[in-house]
Amino acid sequence: MSQWTDVAAADDIFEGAAIAVTPSGLDIAVYKTEAGEVFATDNICTHGHARLCDGFLEGHEIECPFHQGRFDIRTGQPTLEPCVDAIKSYPVKIEGGRVWLEI
């Protein structure tokens, strides 16, 4: 059963950047767009073992640091090869200045 979990302070994430959080042993990337929207996906690329929190965020796309494949951070869908398999995305809410994920 999924539940809302407090994973970070909203201010801990800079605009246009990502951080890694590890609730319940998971490895999840939490992104904040330049517009201040927050999204979360699994942190490990489906093409290799790169951590997407180390990648380059542009708009709603995260570029993998290894081979520059891309995913849409809103859905986890791949948007550029060599990434072809989706990553899992997680519902996010901001409450009380904290980032909550439904995991």
Beta carbon nearer to ligand FES, 37 or 54: 54
Out of 29, 57, 83, 87, the residue judged to bind ligand FES by CB under 6 A: 83
25: left (phi over 0), alpha (psi -120 to 50) or beta: left
Instruction: Tell me the one-letter amino acid at 25.
Output: G
What is the CB-side half-sphere exposure of residue 62 using CA atoms within 13 A? Answer: 36
Question: 99: which residues sit within 8 A by CB, 6+ positions away?
Answer: 6, 7, 8, 9, 10, 12, 13, 30, 38, 40, 92
Report, in Å, the least distance between residue 80 CB and ligand FES.
9
If one asks whether residue 82 binds ligand FES (CB under 6 A), the answer comes out as yes
> Would you give the binding string for ligand FES spanning residues 28-67, x where CB under 6 A is met?
-----------------x-xx-x-------------x-xx
Residues that bind ligand FES (CB under 6 A): 45, 47-48, 50, 64, 66-67, 69, 82-83
